[in-house]
Amino acid sequence: MMEENINWSTFLAPYHQAVDELKVKLRGMRKQYEIEAKHSPIELVTGRVKSTSSILDKANRKGIPLSEIEERIQDIGGVRIVCQFVDDIYTIVELLRARHDFEIIEEKDYIKDEKSSGYRSYHVVIHYPVATIHGEKFVLVEIQIRTLAMNFWAINEHSLNYKYSGEIPKEIQTRLQRAAEAAFQLDEEMAKIKDEVQEAQWIFHQYKSKSHKKGG
Ligand code: 0O2
């Protein structure tokens, strides 16, 4: 498939559908925890479809011919689940593994195997069926699962990478590595007081729903 032969709107449509459906489904899981008054391992869910220029950049960088981008670029459709605590990540992975509406084809644990940049997250690549007017179409979607601290770091590093076209100056790289270590420490410390934090959030939740019922 040559670049000029790709109809991008048609090509990307099932990815948009998949990302939209997954956002609804995963936010639904969060809602369910709320209804059952349990700590939700899911804090927030976002999603995006990669832009055409980003897809072409990545294909170029990795030497992937356009005829193979569907199979070889796994994050054209991307969903991100952000949580409070590191162990929430593994709870979410279990929840994803138990589902029957998609198939997990790959898992990458960049928390146990941190990237040299300092990047940490858990990636799950799924094969997701989209019902189209031409029948069922499967697309790959990458689900990134990370804590708020990991997300803060990754968003900032991503912006810097963009600004410096992937060539972040050494001094800033060193600071980023220190920031990654600090984010890691923050996650470690929060894990130690997780029960305390959750109890406090539970009390606050009760207080809010009582004052809401009173109309306060
Ligand atoms: P964007 O702009 O976020 O879409 P690999 O060859 O396995 O190393 P691959 O196939 O891209 O690389 O898969 P991987 O490692 O799972 O990375 C996919 C996405 O994870 C990236 O997409 C980023 O979103 C995120 N990611 C991976 N490494 C880093 C990192 O060091 N810093 C940040 N901030 N994010 C990272 P894209 O397409 O690279 O970028």
CB 77 within 8 A of CB 130: no
* C-beta of 123 in contact with ligand 1 (< 6 A): yes
Atom number, ligand 1, closest to the C-alpha of residue 62: 6
Using DSSP, state whether 83 is helix, strand or coil.
strand
Q: Ligand 1 centroid to 143 CA: how many Å?
A: 11
* C-beta of 88 in contact with ligand 1 (< 6 A): no
- Residue of the CA atom closest to atom 22 of ligand 1: 75
* C-beta of 158 in contact with ligand 1 (< 6 A): yes
Annotated catalytic residue 94: no
* C-beta of 157 in contact with ligand 1 (< 6 A): yes
129-158: b or e for each residue (b if 16 or more CB lie within 10 Å)?
bbeeeeeeeebbbbbbbbbbbbbebbeebe
The confidence score (pLDDT) of residue 53 equals 95
Q: Ligand 1 centroid to 162 CA: how many Å?
A: 13
50-69: b or e for each residue (b if 16 or more CB lie within 10 Å)?
beeeebeebbeeeeeebeeb
pLDDT digit string, tens, across residues 55-112: 999 999 999 999 999 999 999 999 999 999 999 999 999 999 999 999 999 999 999 9
Tens of pLDDT along the chain (216 residues) come to 445 578 999 999 999 999 999 999 999 999 999 888 888 999 999 999 999 999 999 999 999 999 999 999 999 999 999 999 999 999 999 999 999 999 999 999 999 999 999 999 999 999 999 999 999 999 999 999 999 999 999 999 999 999 998 899 999 999 999 999 999 999 999 999 998 888 887 787 777 777 766 664
- Residue of the CA atom closest to atom 8 of ligand 1: 115
Q: What is the CA 37 to chain-centroid distance, rounded?
A: 24
Q: Ligand 1 centroid to 216 CA: how many Å?
A: 46
Structure tokens at 76: 């054209």
Atom number, ligand 1, closest to the C-alpha of residue 162: 2
Q: Residues 3, 34, 70, 142: which is the catalytic one?
A: 142
- Residue of the CA atom closest to atom 7 of ligand 1: 108
Atom number, ligand 1, closest to the C-alpha of residue 73: 10
